[in-house]
């Protein structure tokens, strides 16, 4: 069936794939701040709507721990999106998070991405280990 003929929602497609492939090891249960993967397992790590969602206030220490582990399992970049609220402003605490990450050897860069929701641009945070 051609991809454009698939009328299921993304959630339905994920559910169907999960049900079909969980037993074969395609999906691995895990939770931040300690993921069940070896260091540098993935070339690219994507984190969507996990770190800043739902609140204007967040625990910076918990966010740093989560980011450290996401970077640990990445051989390259870790990308966090979104880092902006619906009004386009950065979530409070992003600047502090970036400072705290730098202090533990993780560089961060804000990168502009086109929004999927029609309202122009958004930002993501790209994380990499700093050279020692």
Question: Is 3 within a domain?
Answer: no
Domain that holds residue 100: 37-129
Confidence category of residue 116, pLDDT binned at 50, 70, 90: low
Whole-prediction pTM: 0.82
Q: Is residue 5 part of a domain?
A: no
Q: What is the pLDDT of residues 18-45, one digit of tens each?
A: 999 988 888 998 999 999 999 999 999 9
The structure tokens 């260091």 sit at 39
CATH of the domain at 86: 3.40.50.150
**Residues belonging to the chain:** 132
Residue 20 lies in a domain: no
Name the region of 41 (left: φ>0; alpha: ψ -120 to 50; beta: rest).
alpha
Q: Is the pLDDT of residue 117 over 70?
A: no
74's enclosing H/E stretch is: strand 74-81
In a domain, 112, yes or no: yes
Q: Of 55, 48, 102, nearest to 78 (Cα)?
A: 48
Average pLDDT, the chain: 86
- Residue 76 main-chain phi, psi, to 5 deg: -135, -110
Task: Assess if residue 46 is contained within a domain.
Answer: yes
């Amino acid at each position: 069936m051609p991809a454009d003929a698939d009328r299921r929602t993304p959630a339905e497609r994920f559910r169907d794939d999960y049900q079909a492939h969980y037993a074969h090891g395609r999906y691995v249960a895990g939770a931040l701040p300690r993921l069940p993967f070896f260091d540098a397992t993935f070339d690219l790590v994507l984190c969507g709507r996990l770190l800043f969602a739902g609140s204007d206030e967040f625990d910076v220490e918990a966010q740093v721990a989560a980011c450290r582990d996401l970077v640990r399992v990445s051989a390259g970049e870790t990308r966090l999106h979104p880092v902006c609220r619906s009004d386009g402003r950065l979530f409070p605490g992003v600047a502090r998070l970036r400072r705290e990450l730098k202090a533990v050897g993780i560089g961060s860069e804000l990168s502009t991405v086109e929004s999927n929701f029609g309202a122009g641009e958004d930002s993501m945070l790209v994380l990499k280990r700093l050279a020692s």
